[in-house]
Each structure stands twice: as structure tokens, then as C-alpha cells.
């Protein structure tokens, strides 16, 4: 039931449904997860295709789940299937037999499609053939692959400089495609390779590389099974990495404590019933977090500093019992400067800044003091904060104090998002490639790659807006909906001469386009990829640095789909022609040849073709995992970092907002309208508020409100949201992404990493008014 007048807007349709809210759940998974997994596969009308594929997911010889980047066990894998509810949903989404055909585009104008919600758009089915929108056109029309590549080549070659082109990557693209794609961009002449990392874990890379010498996590899955304490901070594993829950459960059964730090008491942090075990399904699962700290949004820095201060105090009263002084002396630099700062801090003040009572902070600090092997896991709750880089360096500081890194059962674990986002980066999809990487490419291929830094996501949007970037090519993703400041970004995209999207499904970025636009459909992870009559496999790297093969098993929905490597090679041949020194034709037809050349260019891929065919793939080298912290500045010692404590003030009528995911979406792909663990049904336009704030502002449960942001003196409005009372710290609010991206200023970014600060948005809330 639509309850209010629709306000059509191509970027951001504002429609309300009919919310049912039942309150936060206290545990995740169990029977509802099993039922939801299977019903999603059934709902798409694909019981046989879907269930068969589910059992091949994350199994040896099967395909890598296209949902998150959580690793698969090195040893035994569950015979019930190594998948989770959300993996099943991701599969259902791509295995659907519904199709978006040329007829569909003939019947539906771009303007009509833009009025649909993201949920409605996604449910239309798989893209089946290349489509083209001419300048001034109202409907996409079919185009042959050859003509599509000729158009792209024409536009790219007409640019005044290669730096007027942008090559975006989302995180599902295989290692093989990623390598060729960045190679093409560089041979064409630009490092403009914005990617989803620029909105996701770039912050982690910026924090880790200069401190521990590698911008990746240091733990393996087995470390979770034998450790003393696991800290989950700023991450919602029950929804976003459900298979991490099994690792937590196993760790806990073996004696580990679990600490959860989050403004929301997320069901997946509080309790777990493992759907892959009979006892879990029947409901005897247990409490998960031993301690839960309801930190304020961005209160984590105060909390981490309070931990460190208390650890130092405890070490003083029991020397040698709390900190690892030998590790500090032998493996770190900057300890004295680091501890100096704590004279200036008081526990009570830090407690107020964090939002957590000092008694709880003490209890948590004792847990850190009494345990030696600690694993820190984090997600977007930290990386998307303005001071995210510093906060993650603070986590490293704690690991260094405790000597809890570079040994079994201990270390850092940034929980990656997209299933191959880590691999994309290893393959050099990065707007800031190192000179060493570029030298290597030059040596192997003989062309001179561009040396300067290209545009990241935020700078790419600004460049389009200024008219400095004119052609946008996206390898996957949904750029408009994923990025901040929706209205500004839409203006930027509309200024382009050409926008091109390689996609598996229709999304909003196809509907807010450049003067001309192309949609190029491709195979998905679960589709059979047949080259020269043989089913191929591709490879990916998971959150823990394991490179493994992935082979799709489903018949593609259309015989016009071509794989992503072919798209890159054909674009390269059409664009560069005889200018190119690279044998694109060869790479188009052989994944083995691509892997052979990757091996020559990227360290750690020795014998790639052989090792990727082994049972569990192979681990990439990771010095920090072995306790070797090699940084440019400090040789073989890991530095302590002295960071600042942010001062966060809000005007009387302001609230802080974090935008998060529901249980029923994968980023901008909306699977359904439920956020089961938070008790929300049939609505996405909700704003979680503390009951006291609601009372003060005079809002009843279900009140319709509009949300505003005024950064940089611009009024940004997201209309028609429903207030839901929730156990969240006062003056903090949570909404769902991408509906509230319209409120995020393009200039509200994380220091150093330049990521949008999607969890730190200053808003005002007013009773809803229909616009006049």
C-alpha cells in the first residue's frame, strides 16, 4: 500500500510501503535462516537450478559464493553446503530465469524504469544482450557487440587526454579480468581506476600498510578456532558475513571470549544458532558476545584510548603480566611517545566521549589484559568514519602493546566486503599503483605506463562534475547508488559523453546516464563460462589472502552473454588497434595464458596455474602474519601511532546518522524488504531513533519524517521516512543505504583514504511535509 504521494525522481524515488516493526532480535540464524535461504531460491522460480547450485557453492571444484569475501575452511567443509542465507539470496539473484530482453527495453522507457524502486528494478531479471541509448533517446535499443566496442573505442580515442576516461571496478570481477582491465587502462594511458575499495576498506589499507607493512589482514580462519579473545568492532557479521558466525561459534566452544562493540545490539553479535548443525537448527544455540559495549557513533576512538590507558595502569600494578614488553622492545618503534599521551586523558571523560559506562570499559579492558591471543575484526562501522584510518591504527597499537599479532590465534582481520575486492587490488586495480608495480609492467610488456595518481571514487565524481572526465566505464557495480551525494553525482554522470556498464542485472546507474549509454551484459559467477568448447574456471582471493578457483555450473540465460575478459580484450583491440604491444587475442581465449602473465608481473603467484588447481588453492605471502613488519619508513619494526581524539559536537536539533545494510540486500541490490534481525518488515525508509530522543522531539512510533543535511551550505533532503524506536545511543540514528546517500556530502570523507564517511552523517529530522 502506498501511503503518500509519490515523488518521482530518477535518482531517488521516494515511496513508502507499509512498515511492520517487531523489535530487535536476540540471536541470528537458526530455522528462519534455513527457511529463508531455500525460499529465496524457490521464489525466483528456480528450484532445480538453484538448489543444485547451492550445493556447489564454496565446495572444491564448485564456484566461489558471489556474496561476501569470507574464506572457506582449509580442512573439512560442511556436507550440508558451505553457504549461508545471504549466499543463497545472492545466488537466487543471479540464477533467476527471468530475463530483461530487447522487447522489455522497447516497452519501458528509461524514465519509466527510473520511477521504480531499486527492489523493483532488480527483480526484472538478468540482462540478455548489449543495449545502447543514443543521445536524446528515450529507450535503450539493441546493439551488436562489435558496434558497441566501436562506439567505446570512438569515444575513448576522441578524448583530448586518456585522463578524461574513468574505469570503475566493483568487487566481483575475477583476478584474470582485473589484471587485463588495469593493463588496458594503463596501456590506454590512465590510472583513473576508481573502485569499490574507495568506499569500503581503503581506510584499512591506509592504516595497515605503514604500520604492519601490508594492507591486508593477518589471520587465517584456523586462528579463530584457537584464540583467547575475538573483538568484533563496527561490523555486523550475522548479516554481512554469516559464515564468520560459525568461526565465532567454534572459537567460543574452544574457550575464546567474544567482545562486541557497536551502537546497535545486532542479533548476530548477541546470539547464534548455527543453521549448518542440527542442534543449531533446533534452537539450542547460545549467547555469543561475553561483553557488548554500546558505543556511540564515532565513540570508538575514545573507547580504544580508554582501553590503552587502563592496560598501561594494570601493567604498572602487575609488571610483565599485562603487556608483552619483549615484543614491544624487539618489534616496535615509538612506544615512549605513544604512552606519553595518556597523561592527558581521564577515564571519565573518555567514557562520556565513547558513550560506554566506565565500569563496562574497565571490565572490557580486563578482558584485554587477561588474554594474550586477541583477534580484532572490523567492518564499515570503523572504515567509514572520518577518523577511520586513525582508529584502525589504534587497533594496531593495542595489538602491538599485547604482542598480539604475527602469531597463531592473534592479529587483525578487516572483514572484506565484495567476494573478490581483495583480489582486484592484488591485481593492481588501484588509482595509486606503486612505482615498483609499474616498473614491472614496463619490463614485462615494454610499454611506458602512466606514473601519476589517478582519480579515486570521490575525485572521479568531482572530475565528471567539472567536465574533466568524459567517458565512464564500469566493470560491474552500481556507481550512482553506491556513491554519496546522489543528486550531485547524478548531475556529474549526466555530463558524461558516454557511460558504459558491464552488468548482470539492471540497476539505477543504467538509468542516470551520460549523453550516450551502453549496457553490456555478462556472465555471473555461477554461470558456465565456456571458451573453445571447454568450461573454464576463474580465480579469486578471499579476505584471508587465499587464491582459489571458481567454476560456474549454470547454463547462461542467453547465448549473447560474453565473459568479462573477452569484453576487456575486445575493447582493448577496438581502442588500441595496432598501437598495442599486447596480444589481446591470446588472452581473450585462454585463462591459463592470463594466469601465466600475472605470474610474471605480481609477486606471490609463482606456479599460479598449478597451485590454483590444488585442493584449497594457495595462500599469498603475508609477512605480518609471520611476525615480519617491513615498512618503508621503519625497516623491520612496526610503529606505534599517536592519534587524535575527535571532538564531536552536535547542535541541539542535530543527530548523527550511520547508513547501514539490511539483512535483505547486497549493497545496492535489494533482495527483499525485510530486515529480519532488526524486526523490520516491508519497509526500507526507516530511521532508528532512541526512545528518549523521540519523546523529546515529539515523534510517535511510525511518525513520518523528512531527513535533512546541510554540509557545505547545501540543503540535502531525503523525504518520507518512518521513525522506529530502537536501542541505540541517544542522538544517534541509523538508516539504510542507498536511500539516504542523497544526504551525504561529497566532501564528507575519511582523512587520508578519502572514502565517503557513510557512517558519520549529520542530519536534522523534521515532521514530513509534502513538497510544494
Ligand X SMILES: Nc1nc2c(c(=O)[nH]1)N[C@H]1C(S)=C(S)[C@@H](COP(=O)(O)OP(=O)(O)OC[C@H]3O[C@@H](n4cnc5c(=O)[nH]c(N)nc54)[C@H](O)[C@@H]3O)O[C@H]1N2
Binding site for ligand X (CB under 6 A): 67-68, 86, 170-172, 196, 199-200, 233-236, 239-241, 261-264, 266, 295, 297-298, 300, 379-381, 384-385, 417-418, 475-479, 482, 502-505, 507, 522, 524-525, 564, 658-661, 665-669, 737, 741, 758-759
- The radius of gyration computed from the CA coordinates of the chain, to the nearest angstrom, equals 25
CB of 52 to ligand X, least distance (A): 19
How much of the chain is helix, strand and coil, in % rounded to 5? 40, 20, 45
Which of 194, 406 has the CB closer to ligand X? 194
Q: Give the 3-state secondary structure of 201-244.
A: CHHHHHHHHHHHCCCCCCCCHHHHHCCCEEEEECCCHHHHCHHH
Q: What is the DSSP string of 289-340?
A: -SEEE-PPTT-HHHHHHHHHHHHHHHHHHSTTTSS-HHHHHHHEE-HHHHHH
CB of 741 to Mo ion, least distance (A): 14
Q: Identify what 266 binds: ligand X, Mo ion, none; CB under 5 to 8 Å per kind.
A: ligand X
Which of 643, 659 has the CB closer to ligand X? 659
CA-to-CA distance for 211 and 206, rounded, in angstroms?
9
Which of 81, 171 has the CB closer to Mo ion? 171
CB of 189 to ligand X, least distance (A): 23
Q: Identify what 227 binds: Mo ion, ligand X, none; CB under 5 to 8 Å per kind.
A: none
CA-to-CA distance for 240 and 90, rounded, in angstroms?
12
Which of 117, 236 has the CB closer to ligand X? 236
Residue 65 binding Mo ion, by CB under 5 A = no
Q: Interface with Mo ion by CB under 5 A: which range of 153-161, 198-206, 300-308, 613-621?
A: 198-206
CB of 329 to ligand X, least distance (A): 32
CB of 66 to ligand X, least distance (A): 6
Among 200, 221, 474, 707, the residue binding Mo ion under the rule CB under 5 A is 200
Q: Identify what 513 binds: Mo ion, ligand X, none; CB under 5 to 8 Å per kind.
A: none
Which of 449, 476 has the CB closer to ligand X? 476
CA-to-CA distance for 504 and 314, rounded, in angstroms?
55
The residue nearest Mo ion at its CB is 417
Measured between alpha carbons, how far apart are the two ends of the chain, in Å?
A: 23
Residue 251 binding Mo ion, by CB under 5 A = no
Q: 649, 709, 732, 757: which is closest to 386 by C-alpha?
A: 757
The continuous run of DSSP H or E covering 36 comes out as: helix 31-43
Which of 731, 759 has the CB closer to ligand X? 759
Please give the size of the binding site for Mo ion, defined by CB under 5 A.
Answer: 2
Residue 13 binding Mo ion, by CB under 5 A = no
CA-to-CA distance for 315 and 369, rounded, in angstroms?
8
Residue 234 binding Mo ion, by CB under 5 A = no
Residue 723 binding Mo ion, by CB under 5 A = no
Q: Identify what 63 binds: Mo ion, ligand X, none; CB under 5 to 8 Å per kind.
A: none
606 pairs with which residues across the strands? none
What are φ and ψ of residue 37, in 5° steps? -60, -50
CA-to-CA distance for 549 and 540, rounded, in angstroms?
7
Cell triple for 470: 568524459
Among 50, 122, 417, 545, the residue binding Mo ion under the rule CB under 5 A is 417
CA-to-CA distance for 308 and 69, rounded, in angstroms?
31
Q: 131, 193, 182: which is closest to 500 by C-alpha?
A: 131
Which of 24, 200 has the CB closer to Mo ion? 200
CB of 365 to Mo ion, least distance (A): 31
CB of 236 to ligand X, least distance (A): 3
Which of 40, 228 has the CB closer to ligand X? 40
Q: What is the DSSP string of 73-138?
A: PSS---TT-S--HHHHHHHHHHH---EE-HHHHHHS-HHHHHTS-HHHHHTT-EE-S-EEE-TT-S
The set of residues, in sequence order, having a beta carbon less than 8 Å from that of 466 and lying 6+ positions away, is none
Which of 413, 694 has the CB closer to Mo ion? 413
CB of 504 to ligand X, least distance (A): 4
Q: Interface with Mo ion by CB under 5 A: which range of 56-64, 78-86, 412-420, 678-686?
A: 412-420
Which of 417, 545 has the CB closer to Mo ion? 417
Binding site for Mo ion (CB under 5 A): 200, 417
Amino acid at each position: 500500500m502506498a501511503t503518500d504521494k509519490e515523488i518521482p525522481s530518477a535518482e531517488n524515488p521516494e515511496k513508502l510501503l507499509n512498515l511492520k516493526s517487531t523489535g530487535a532480535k536476540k540471536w541470528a540464524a537458526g530455522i528462519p535462516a534455513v527457511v529463508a535461504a531455500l525460499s529465496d531460491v524457490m521464489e525466483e522460480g528456480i528450484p532445480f537450478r538453484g538448489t543444485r547450485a547451492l550445493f556447489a557453492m564454496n565446495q572444491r571444484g564448485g564456484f566461489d559464493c558471489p556474496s561476501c569475501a569470507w574464506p572457506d575452511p582449509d580442512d573439512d567443509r560442511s556436507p550440508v553446503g558451505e553457504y549461508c542465507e545471504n549466499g543463497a539470496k545472492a545466488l537466487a539473484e543471479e540464477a533467476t530465469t527471468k530475463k530483461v530482453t530487447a522487447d522489455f527495453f522497447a516497452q519501458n522507457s528509461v524514465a519509466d524504469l527510473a520511477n521504480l524502486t531499486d527492489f523493483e528494478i532488480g527483480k526484472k531479471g538478468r540482462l540478455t544482450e548489449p543495449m545502447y541509448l543514443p543521445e536524446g533517446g528515450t529507450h535503450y535499443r539493441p546493439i551488436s557487440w562489435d558496434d558497441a566496442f566501436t562506439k567505446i573505442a570512438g569515444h575513448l580515442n576522441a578524448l583530448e587526454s586518456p585522463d578524461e576516461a574513468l574505469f570503475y571496478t566493483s568487487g566481483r570481477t575475477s583476478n584474470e579480468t582485473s589484471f587485463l582491465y588495469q593493463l588496458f587502462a594503463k596501456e590506454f594511458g590512465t590510472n583513473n581506476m576508481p573502485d569499490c575499495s574507495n568506499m569500503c576498506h581503503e581506510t584499512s589499507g591506509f592504516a595497515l600498510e605503514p604500520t604492519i607493512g601490508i594492507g591486508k589482514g593477518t589471520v587465517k580462519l584456523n586462528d579463530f578456532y584457537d584464540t583467547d579473545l575475538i573483538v568484533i568492532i563496527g561490523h555486523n557479521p550475522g548479516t554481512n558475513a554469516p559464515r564468520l558466525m560459525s568461526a565465532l561459534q567454534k572459537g567460543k566452544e574452544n574457550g575464546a571470549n567474544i567482545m562486541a562493540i557497536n551502537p546497535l545490539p545486532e542479533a548476530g553479535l548477541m546470539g547464534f544458532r548455527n543453521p549448518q548443525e542440527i542442534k543449531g537448527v533446533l534452537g539450542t544455540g547460545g549467547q555469543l558476545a561475553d561483553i557488548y559495549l554500546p558505543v556511540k557513533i564515532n565513540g570508538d576512538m575514545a573507547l580504544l584510548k580508554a582501553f590503552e590507558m587502563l592496560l598501561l595502569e594494570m601493567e604498572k600494578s602487575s609488571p610483565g603480566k599485562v603487556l608483552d614488553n619483549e615484543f614491544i622492545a624487539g618489534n616496535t618503534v615509538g612506544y615512549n611517545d605513544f604512552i606519553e599521551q595518556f597523561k592527558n586523558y581521564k577515564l571519565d571523560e573518555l567514557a562520556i566521549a565513547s558513550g560506554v559506562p566506565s565500569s563496562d570499559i574497565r571490565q572490557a579492558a580486563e578482558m584485554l589484559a587477561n588474554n594474550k591471543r586477541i583477534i580484532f575484526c572490523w567492518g564499515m562501522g570503523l572504515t567509514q568514519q572520518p577518523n577511520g584510518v586513525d582508529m584502525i591504527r589504534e587497533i594496531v597499537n593495542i595489538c602491538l602493546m599485547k604482542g598480539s599479532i604475527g602469531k597463531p590465534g592473534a592479529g587483525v582481520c578487516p572483514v572484506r566486503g565484495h567476494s573478490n575486492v581483495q583480489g582486484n587490488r592484488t591485481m593492481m586495480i588501484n588509482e595509486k599503483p606503486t612505482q615498483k608495480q609499474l616498473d614491472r609492467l614496463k619490463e614485462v610488456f615494454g610499454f611506458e605506463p602512466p606514473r601519476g595518481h589517478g582519480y579515486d571514487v570521490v575525485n572521479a565524481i568531482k572530475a565528471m562534475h567539472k567536465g574533466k572526465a568524459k567517458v565512464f566505464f564500469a566493470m560491474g557495480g552500481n556507481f550512482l547508488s553506491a556513491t554519496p551525494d546522489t543528486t550531485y553525482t547524478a548531475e556529474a554522470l549526466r555530463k558524461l559523453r558516454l557511460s558504459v556498464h558491464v552488468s548482470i542485472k539492471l540497476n539505477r546507474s543504467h538509468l542516470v546516464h551520460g549523453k550516450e549509454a551502453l549496457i553490456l551484459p555478462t556472465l555471473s559467477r555461477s554461470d558456465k563460462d565456456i571458451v573453445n568448447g571447454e568450461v573454464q574456471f576463474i580465480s579469486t582471493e578471499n579476505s584471508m589472502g587465499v587464491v582459489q578457483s571458481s567454476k560456474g555450473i549454470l547454463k547462461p540465460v542467453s547465448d549473447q552473454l560474453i565473459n568479462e575478459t573477452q569484453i576487456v580484450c575486445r575493447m582493448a583491440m577496438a581502442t588500441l588497434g595496432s598501437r598495442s604491444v599486447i596480444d589481446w587475442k591470446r588472452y581473450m581465449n585462454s585463462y591459463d595464458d592470463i594466469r601465466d602473465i600475472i605470474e610474471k608481473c605480481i609477486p606471490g603467484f609463482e606456479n599460479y596455474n598449478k597451485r590454483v588447481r590444488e585442493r584449497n588453492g594457495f595462500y599469498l605471502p603475508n609477512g605480518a602474519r609471520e611476525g615480519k613488519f617491513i615498512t618503508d619508513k621503519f625497516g623491520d619494526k612496526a610503529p606505534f601511532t599517536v592519534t587524535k581524539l575527535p571532538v564531536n559536537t552536535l547542535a541541539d536539533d542535530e543527530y548523527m546518522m550511520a547508513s547501514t545494510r539490511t539483512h535483505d540486500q547486497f549493497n545496492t541490490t535489494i533482495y527483499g524488504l525485510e530486515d529480519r534481525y532488526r524486526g523490520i518488515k516491508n519497509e526500507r525508509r526507516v530511521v532508528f531513533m532512541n526512545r528518549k530522543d523521540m519523546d523529546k522531539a515529539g515523534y510517535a512510533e511510525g511518525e513520518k519524517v523528512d531527513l535533512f543535511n546541510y554540509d557545505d551550505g547545501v540543503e540535502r533532503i531525503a523525504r518520507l521516512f518512518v521513525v522506529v524506536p530502537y536501542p541505540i545511543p541517544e542522538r544517534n540514528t541509523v538508516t539504510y543505504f542507498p536511500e539516504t546517500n542523497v544526504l551525504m556530502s561529497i566532501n564528507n570523507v575519511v582523512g587520508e583514504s578519502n572514502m565517503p564517511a557513510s557512517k558519520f552523517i549529520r542530519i536534522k529530522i523534521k515532521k514530513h511535509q509534502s513538497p510544494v
